[in-house]
């Protein structure tokens, strides 16, 4: 084939693409005659504005659009037309109207996590799963796990002592171990190295191109996912033979009342590990960065943690942490809240319109994706004074609590995060031991952020961790 033939073919393909896109937009604008589509641009055919959005800080992409088009605008990313929403009330509406906007994920991600996982469902099946997950991570249950989490935190920090570490990677080990404790209880033998190896392979392939050919990360991840399913099947059958009741998530999933099949159980175990791990590890990584940059805050957190131990000593209480100690960590809790706001690790989430929806004078056509922009809501000066400043005192309840509905790091509505209490607990416990016993220095560039898919300090924040004198 010579160059002119290739060129000819390329131009023909492009014309077909352009024609199809134009015809589609024409049909949509005709269908929604009373209400126009939201303002905005759709970028290139098929590619849309994907590269523009992902090749820079998404905050800049969103801010430029909002300045030009207002708080609701259309775009085209990852192969889909979409509407982006930066107003907090509108975001809340979208997240709470399950019958109009369903959760949506790329098909490749569904296949990898498992089609039966909680995120992809609505209705009775979803409600049943949510009830089971919530029962495992509600305060009444996790308060009994405090000392186990404490041991995991201490051994994680001990293993990093004196070393140059990548904070995010070490925090991921910590949060994986806590997730496994919640799912499998104290039955350590169940969570062998094979389980972890398979999970790490899945994780490496999760954000790769979904090409299922031998040698690709995606292919390896899919293979590891199959192996992981076999490991879980084995664990389930061992548990069945033991004929004992278990109070952990696997125990609840396996109870007769849950009505779940083994495949559903497996998909949801993978799903919960996935939801619990990187999110919490990212927040911990950001907290170390902000504490390093704000020595007064670090001092206040350390003092709070020391005072908790002093009070226990004075009253002759056991020195191990317990649930009510963690409820007295008010300054540390505000540091977590402020980090959740400013880091906004999930810049946005996805929903899909299940029918044509008229919203605020615009049409959101059926099948379009809708993205509530958490990061923009958390960084708006209308919602938070001096939003770029790390200031935990803004969460001092009585004086300056955030405006209602403007703080949604755990989402909102039927799919809001059920694991928020667990996440907070594991972060508090780790910070208790970290601030009392260690100090750290950041190695290399401090201010760059990478987005892939979570917002994270560049290279996962390399630090040197050393025992406090």
Binding site for heme: what residues are annotated? 417
**Residues 452, 169: contact at Cβ < 8 Å?**
no
Question: Which stretch in 4-12, 229-237, 258-266, 275-283 sits in contact with ligand HEM by CB under 6 A?
Answer: 275-283
d(CA 69, CA 67): 6
Least Å distance, CB 228 to ligand HEM, is 17
Q: List residues bridging with 242 in a β-sheet.
A: none
Q: Closer to ligand HEM by CB, 149 or 346: give it.
A: 346
**Residues 350, 106: contact at Cβ < 8 Å?**
no
Q: Closer to ligand HEM by CB, 216 or 405: give it.
A: 405
Per rule CB under 6 A, is residue 376 in the interface with ligand HEM?
no
Q: Closer to ligand HEM by CB, 85 or 137: give it.
A: 137
Per rule CB under 6 A, is residue 137 in the interface with ligand HEM?
yes
Structure tokens at 151: 């041991």
Q: Considering only residues 349, 352, 373, 434, which one is a binding residue for ligand HEM as defined by CB under 6 A? A: 349
Question: Which stretch in 43-51, 210-218, 375-383, 412-420 sits in contact with ligand HEM by CB under 6 A?
Answer: 412-420
Q: Considering only residues 45, 143, 411, 443, which one is a binding residue for ligand HEM as defined by CB under 6 A? A: 411
d(CA 91, CA 407): 11
Q: Closer to ligand HEM by CB, 175 or 217: give it.
A: 175
Question: Which stretch in 85-93, 236-244, 271-279, 460-468 sits in contact with ligand HEM by CB under 6 A?
Answer: 271-279
Helix (H, G, I), strand (E, B) or coil at 255: coil
Q: Considering only residues 102, 109, 111, 130, which one is a binding residue for ligand HEM as defined by CB under 6 A? A: 130
Residue in the shown chain whose Cβ atom is closest to ligand HEM: 419
Q: Considering only residues 77, 157, 275, 364, which one is a binding residue for ligand HEM as defined by CB under 6 A? A: 275
Select from 380, 386, 425 the least CA-distant residue to 407: 380
Residue linked to tokens 């899945």: 202
Structure tokens at 126: 């979803």
Structure tokens at 289: 């960065």
Q: Closer to ligand HEM by CB, 52 or 339: give it.
A: 339
**Residues 77, 373: contact at Cβ < 8 Å?**
no
**Residues 393, 73: contact at Cβ < 8 Å?**
no
Helix (H, G, I), strand (E, B) or coil at 391: coil
Per rule CB under 6 A, is residue 462 in the interface with ligand HEM?
no
Question: What's the CA angle centered on 20, arms 17 and 23, to 5 degrees?
Answer: 145
Structure tokens at 327: 């409820």
Question: Which stretch in 274-282, 357-365, 395-403, 438-446 sits in contact with ligand HEM by CB under 6 A?
Answer: 274-282
- Count CB atoms within 10 A of the CB of residue 445: 10
Per rule CB under 6 A, is residue 185 in the interface with ligand HEM?
no
Report DSSP state, residue 363. Answer: E
Per rule CB under 6 A, is residue 415 in the interface with ligand HEM?
yes
Structure tokens at 425: 């607990």
Least Å distance, CB 254 to ligand HEM, is 17
Per rule CB under 6 A, is residue 456 in the interface with ligand HEM?
no
Residue linked to tokens 């396996």: 254
Residues near ligand HEM (CB under 6 A): 103, 118-119, 130, 133, 137, 272, 275-276, 279-280, 283, 345-346, 349, 409-411, 415-419, 422-423
């Amino acid at each position: 084939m010579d160059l002119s033939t290739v060129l000819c073919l390329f131009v023909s393909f492009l014309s077909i693409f352009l024609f199809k896109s134009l015809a589609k937009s024409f049909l949509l604008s005709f269908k929604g005659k009373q209400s126009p589509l939201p303002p905005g641009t759709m970028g290139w055919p098929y590619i849309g504005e994907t590269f523009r959005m992902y090749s820079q800080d998404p905050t800049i992409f969103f801010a430029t659009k909002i300045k030009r088009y207002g708080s609701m605008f259309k775009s085209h990313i990852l192969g889909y037309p979409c509407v982006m929403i930066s107003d907090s009330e509108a975001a809340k509406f979208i997240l709470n109207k399950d019958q109009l906007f369903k959760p949506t994920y790329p098909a490749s991600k569904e296949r990898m996590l498992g089609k039966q996982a909680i995120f992809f469902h609505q209705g009775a099946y979803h409600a049943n799963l949510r009830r089971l997950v919530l029962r495992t991570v509600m305060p009444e249950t996790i308060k009994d796990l405090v000392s186990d989490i404490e041991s995991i935190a201490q051994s994680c920090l001990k293993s990093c002592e004196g070393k140059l570490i990548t904070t995010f990677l070490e925090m991921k080990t910590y949060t994986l171990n806590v997730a496994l404790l919640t799912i499998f209880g104290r039955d350590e033998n169940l969570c062998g190295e094979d389980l972890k190896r398979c999970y790490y392979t899945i994780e490496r392939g999760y954000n790769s191109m979904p090409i299922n050919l031998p040698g690709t990360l995606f292919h390896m991840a899919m293979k590891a996912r199959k192996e992981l399913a076999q490991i879980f099947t084995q664990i389930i059958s061992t548990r069945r033979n033991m004929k004992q009741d278990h109070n952990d998530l696997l125990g609840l999933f396996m109870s007769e009342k849950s009505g779940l099949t083994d495949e559903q159980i497996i998909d949801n175990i993978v799903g919960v590990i996935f939801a619990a791990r990187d999110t919490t590890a990212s927040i911990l990584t950001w907290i170390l960065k902000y504490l390093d940059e704000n020595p007064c805050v670090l001092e206040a957190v350390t003092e709070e943690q020391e005072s908790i131990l002093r009070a226990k000593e004075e009253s002759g209480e056991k020195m191990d942490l317990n649930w009510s100690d963690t409820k007295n960590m008010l300054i540390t809790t505000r540091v977590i809240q402020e980090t959740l706001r400013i880091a906004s690790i999930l810049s946005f989430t996805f929903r899909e319109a299940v029918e044509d929806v008229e919203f605020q004078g615009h049409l959101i056509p059926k099948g379009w994706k809708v993205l509530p922009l958490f990061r923009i809501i958390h960084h708006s000066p209308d919602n938070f004074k001096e939003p770029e400043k790390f200031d935990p005192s803004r969460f001092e309840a009585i004086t300056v609590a955030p405006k209602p509905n403007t703080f949604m790091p755990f989402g909102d509505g039927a799919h809001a995060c059920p694991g928020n209490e667990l996440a907070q607990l594991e972060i508090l416990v780790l910070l208790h031991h970290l601030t009392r016993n260690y100090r750290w220095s950041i190695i290399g560039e401090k201010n760059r952020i990478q987005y892939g898919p979570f917002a994270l300090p560049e290279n996962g924040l390399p630090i040197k961790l050393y025992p406090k004198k």
